[in-house]
Protein backbone atom coordinates (compact mmCIF):
# COMPACT_ATOMS: atom_id res chain seq x y z
CA UNK A 1 0.00 0.00 0.00
CA UNK A 2 1.25 3.43 -0.93
CA UNK A 3 2.31 5.65 2.01
CA UNK A 4 0.18 8.80 2.37
CA UNK A 5 2.02 11.96 1.28
CA UNK A 6 1.81 13.58 4.76
CA UNK A 7 3.59 10.61 6.39
CA UNK A 8 6.39 10.99 3.86
CA UNK A 9 6.93 14.53 5.19
CA UNK A 10 6.48 13.67 8.86
CA UNK A 11 9.06 10.90 8.99
CA UNK A 12 12.13 13.06 8.21
CA UNK A 13 10.76 15.87 10.38
CA UNK A 14 10.31 13.48 13.31
CA UNK A 15 13.83 12.18 12.82
CA UNK A 16 15.16 15.74 12.76
CA UNK A 17 13.32 16.45 16.00
CA UNK A 18 15.00 13.49 17.68
CA UNK A 19 18.41 14.70 16.56
CA UNK A 20 17.81 18.24 17.82
CA UNK A 21 16.56 17.08 21.20
CA UNK A 22 19.51 14.76 21.86
CA UNK A 23 21.72 15.75 24.82
CA UNK A 24 24.81 17.78 23.87
CA UNK A 25 28.07 15.90 23.58
CA UNK A 26 30.23 18.87 24.63
CA UNK A 27 30.65 20.51 28.02
CA UNK A 28 27.97 23.26 28.30
CA UNK A 29 30.27 25.22 30.63
CA UNK A 30 33.77 24.76 29.16
CA UNK A 31 35.10 27.75 31.10
CA UNK A 32 34.32 26.19 34.50
CA UNK A 33 37.07 24.15 36.13
CA UNK A 34 37.02 22.27 39.42
CA UNK A 35 40.08 21.79 41.60
CA UNK A 36 40.03 18.95 44.12
CA UNK A 37 42.11 18.85 47.32
CA UNK A 38 45.60 17.44 46.83
CA UNK A 39 48.50 16.51 49.07
CA UNK A 40 51.61 18.62 49.57
CA UNK A 41 54.90 17.56 51.16
CA UNK A 42 54.38 20.23 53.83
CA UNK A 43 51.04 18.83 54.99
CA UNK A 44 51.33 18.05 58.71
CA UNK A 45 48.91 15.13 58.24
CA UNK A 46 47.94 12.70 55.46
CA UNK A 47 45.16 14.59 53.70
CA UNK A 48 44.05 11.43 51.88
CA UNK A 49 43.19 9.71 55.16
CA UNK A 50 39.58 9.87 56.44
CA UNK A 51 41.02 10.66 59.87
CA UNK A 52 43.25 13.50 58.67
CA UNK A 53 43.15 16.66 60.75
CA UNK A 54 44.02 18.64 57.63
CA UNK A 55 41.04 19.43 55.44
CA UNK A 56 40.61 21.28 52.15
CA UNK A 57 37.59 22.37 50.15
CA UNK A 58 36.90 21.78 46.47
CA UNK A 59 37.07 24.92 44.35
CA UNK A 60 35.35 25.55 41.02
CA UNK A 61 36.13 28.70 39.05
CA UNK A 62 35.84 30.55 35.75
CA UNK A 63 38.69 32.42 34.13
CA UNK A 64 38.84 36.04 35.37
CA UNK A 65 36.84 38.60 33.42
CA UNK A 66 36.93 42.38 33.07
CA UNK A 67 33.99 44.73 33.61
CA UNK A 68 33.73 48.54 33.52
CA UNK A 69 31.46 49.94 36.24
CA UNK A 70 30.61 53.34 37.72
CA UNK A 71 31.76 52.90 41.32
CA UNK A 72 30.31 55.39 43.85
CA UNK A 73 33.03 57.74 45.06
CA UNK A 74 35.59 56.34 42.61
CA UNK A 75 34.18 57.12 39.18
CA UNK A 76 34.21 54.79 36.21
CA UNK A 77 36.50 51.86 37.00
CA UNK A 78 37.80 48.88 35.08
CA UNK A 79 37.40 45.96 37.49
CA UNK A 80 38.59 42.39 37.27
CA UNK A 81 36.56 39.58 38.81
CA UNK A 82 36.58 35.82 39.21
CA UNK A 83 33.39 33.80 39.66
CA UNK A 84 33.84 30.74 41.86
CA UNK A 85 32.06 28.04 43.84
CA UNK A 86 33.18 26.26 47.00
CA UNK A 87 32.17 22.64 47.67
CA UNK A 88 32.71 20.92 51.00
CA UNK A 89 33.31 17.18 50.68
CA UNK A 90 34.82 16.82 54.15
CA UNK A 91 33.06 15.24 57.13
CA UNK A 92 31.64 18.42 58.70
CA UNK A 93 30.68 22.01 57.82
CA UNK A 94 33.67 24.33 57.29
CA UNK A 95 33.88 28.11 57.59
CA UNK A 96 35.47 29.64 54.51
CA UNK A 97 37.22 32.95 55.28
CA UNK A 98 38.85 33.69 51.94
CA UNK A 99 41.55 35.98 50.69
CA UNK A 100 42.13 36.31 46.97
CA UNK A 101 45.40 37.92 45.94
CA UNK A 102 46.01 38.70 42.28
CA UNK A 103 49.78 38.91 41.65
CA UNK A 104 51.27 40.50 38.54
CA UNK A 105 54.14 38.06 37.84
CA UNK A 106 55.95 40.55 35.61
CA UNK A 107 56.21 43.21 38.32
CA UNK A 108 55.73 41.03 41.43
CA UNK A 109 52.89 43.32 42.58
CA UNK A 110 49.85 41.90 44.34
CA UNK A 111 46.34 43.20 44.94
CA UNK A 112 43.89 41.80 47.51
CA UNK A 113 40.27 41.41 46.44
CA UNK A 114 37.75 44.01 47.62
CA UNK A 115 34.08 44.17 48.54
CA UNK A 116 32.49 46.57 46.05
CA UNK A 117 28.67 46.26 46.19
CA UNK A 118 28.00 48.22 42.97
CA UNK A 119 30.48 46.10 41.05
CA UNK A 120 29.11 42.92 42.63
CA UNK A 121 25.58 43.82 41.48
CA UNK A 122 26.82 44.43 37.93
CA UNK A 123 28.56 41.05 37.99
CA UNK A 124 25.38 39.38 39.23
CA UNK A 125 23.48 40.80 36.24
CA UNK A 126 26.02 39.14 33.93
CA UNK A 127 26.65 35.85 35.74
CA UNK A 128 23.35 35.25 37.56
CA UNK A 129 20.59 37.56 36.24
CA UNK A 130 17.82 35.66 38.07
CA UNK A 131 19.76 35.75 41.37
CA UNK A 132 19.37 32.00 41.68
CA UNK A 133 22.93 31.41 42.92
CA UNK A 134 22.91 34.27 45.49
CA UNK A 135 26.49 35.28 44.69
CA UNK A 136 28.44 36.25 47.81
CA UNK A 137 31.52 38.37 48.38
CA UNK A 138 34.59 37.59 50.49
CA UNK A 139 32.87 38.80 53.66
CA UNK A 140 29.33 37.44 53.28
CA UNK A 141 30.53 33.97 52.22
CA UNK A 142 32.12 33.58 55.67
CA UNK A 143 28.84 34.31 57.49
CA UNK A 144 27.73 30.66 57.40
CA UNK A 145 29.77 27.43 57.19
CA UNK A 146 29.94 25.67 53.83
CA UNK A 147 27.55 22.69 54.15
CA UNK A 148 28.74 19.13 53.61
CA UNK A 149 28.14 17.61 50.16
CA UNK A 150 27.61 13.85 50.27
CA UNK A 151 29.37 11.72 47.70
CA UNK A 152 26.15 10.29 46.24
CA UNK A 153 24.24 13.60 46.10
CA UNK A 154 24.23 16.79 44.06
CA UNK A 155 26.99 19.10 45.43
CA UNK A 156 25.79 21.89 47.72
CA UNK A 157 27.98 24.55 46.13
CA UNK A 158 28.20 28.07 47.53
CA UNK A 159 28.88 30.75 44.91
CA UNK A 160 31.08 33.79 45.35
CA UNK A 161 33.00 36.43 43.44
CA UNK A 162 36.42 38.00 43.98
CA UNK A 163 36.84 41.58 42.72
CA UNK A 164 39.96 43.64 42.04
CA UNK A 165 40.31 47.21 40.77
CA UNK A 166 43.31 49.27 39.61
CA UNK A 167 44.87 46.25 37.93
CA UNK A 168 47.71 47.06 35.53
CA UNK A 169 46.07 47.03 32.05
CA UNK A 170 49.36 45.95 30.44
CA UNK A 171 49.67 42.84 32.60
CA UNK A 172 50.00 39.60 30.61
CA UNK A 173 51.01 37.00 33.23
CA UNK A 174 49.48 36.71 36.66
CA UNK A 175 48.49 34.30 39.43
CA UNK A 176 45.52 34.24 41.77
CA UNK A 177 46.30 32.86 45.23
CA UNK A 178 43.26 31.59 47.16
CA UNK A 179 43.73 31.13 50.89
CA UNK A 180 41.13 29.92 53.39
CA UNK A 181 40.29 26.73 51.51
CA UNK A 182 42.31 24.62 53.97
CA UNK A 183 43.38 24.62 57.62
CA UNK A 184 46.85 23.35 56.66
CA UNK A 185 49.83 25.39 57.83
CA UNK A 186 53.56 24.96 58.29
CA UNK A 187 56.42 26.89 59.88
CA UNK A 188 59.69 27.66 58.11
CA UNK A 189 62.88 29.46 59.09
CA UNK A 190 62.95 33.27 59.15
CA UNK A 191 63.83 35.10 55.95
CA UNK A 192 66.66 37.55 56.76
CA UNK A 193 66.63 40.22 58.02
CA UNK A 194 63.48 39.03 59.83
CA UNK A 195 64.05 36.94 62.94
CA UNK A 196 60.62 35.35 63.42
CA UNK A 197 59.63 32.06 61.75
CA UNK A 198 57.42 32.28 58.69
CA UNK A 199 53.94 30.79 58.90
CA UNK A 200 52.86 29.31 55.58
CA UNK A 201 49.23 28.50 54.79
CA UNK A 202 48.04 25.83 52.40
CA UNK A 203 46.96 27.93 49.42
CA UNK A 204 45.58 27.30 45.95
CA UNK A 205 47.60 28.89 43.14
CA UNK A 206 45.92 29.50 39.76
CA UNK A 207 48.07 30.78 36.88
CA UNK A 208 46.80 32.79 33.90
CA UNK A 209 47.99 34.67 30.84
CA UNK A 210 46.44 37.27 28.53
CA UNK A 211 46.52 36.70 24.79
CA UNK A 212 46.20 38.95 21.75
CA UNK A 213 44.95 42.48 21.28
CA UNK A 214 41.59 41.65 22.87
CA UNK A 215 43.28 40.56 26.11
CA UNK A 216 41.66 37.12 26.28
CA UNK A 217 42.47 35.50 29.63
CA UNK A 218 43.51 31.85 29.61
CA UNK A 219 44.12 29.46 32.50
CA UNK A 220 47.51 27.76 32.57
CA UNK A 221 47.16 24.26 33.99
CA UNK A 222 47.71 22.71 36.41
CA UNK A 223 46.28 24.30 39.53
CA UNK A 224 48.74 24.00 42.42
CA UNK A 225 48.35 23.51 46.16
CA UNK A 226 51.31 25.28 47.77
CA UNK A 227 52.32 26.50 51.22
CA UNK A 228 52.58 30.28 50.94
CA UNK A 229 53.96 32.78 53.42
CA UNK A 230 51.45 34.81 55.41
CA UNK A 231 51.39 37.56 58.03
CA UNK A 232 49.90 35.23 60.65
CA UNK A 233 51.90 34.91 63.88
CA UNK A 234 52.38 31.61 65.70
CA UNK A 235 50.21 32.36 68.79
CA UNK A 236 47.20 32.99 66.54
CA UNK A 237 47.23 29.62 64.82
CA UNK A 238 44.75 26.78 65.49
CA UNK A 239 45.82 23.79 67.56
CA UNK A 240 47.12 21.70 64.69
CA UNK A 241 50.73 20.65 65.13
CA UNK A 242 52.78 22.41 62.43
CA UNK A 243 55.39 20.81 60.24
CA UNK A 244 58.77 22.49 59.95
CA UNK A 245 59.95 22.37 56.38
CA UNK A 246 61.62 24.32 53.63
CA UNK A 247 59.80 27.27 52.06
CA UNK A 248 57.30 26.51 49.30
CA UNK A 249 58.60 27.04 45.74
CA UNK A 250 58.38 30.61 44.49
CA UNK A 251 56.33 30.94 41.26
CA UNK A 252 58.25 31.79 38.07
CA UNK A 253 58.46 35.53 37.54
Q: Classify residue 1: in a domain, yes or no.
A: no
CA-CA distance, 223 to 252, in Å (whole number)? Answer: 14
| Confidence bin at 246 (pLDDT 50/70/90) | very low
Q: Show the domain range for 237.
A: 28-39+49-244
Q: Classify residue 251: in a domain, yes or no.
A: no
User: What's the pTM value of the predicted model, to 2 decimals?
Assistant: 0.79
Q: Classify residue 21: in a domain, yes or no.
A: no
| Confidence bin at 192 (pLDDT 50/70/90) | confident
| pLDDT recorded at residue 188 | 81
Q: Classify residue 22: in a domain, yes or no.
A: no
Mean pLDDT of the chain: 82
Number of domains in the chain: 1
Amino acid sequence: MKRPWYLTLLVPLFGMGLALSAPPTTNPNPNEREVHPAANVQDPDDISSPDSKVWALDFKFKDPRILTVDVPGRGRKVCWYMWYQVINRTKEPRTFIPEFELVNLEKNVGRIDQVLPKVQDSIRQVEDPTDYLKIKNSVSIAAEPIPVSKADAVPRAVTGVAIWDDVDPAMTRFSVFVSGLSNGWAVTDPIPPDTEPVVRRKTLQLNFKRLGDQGEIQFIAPAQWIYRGSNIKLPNLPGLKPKDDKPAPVPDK
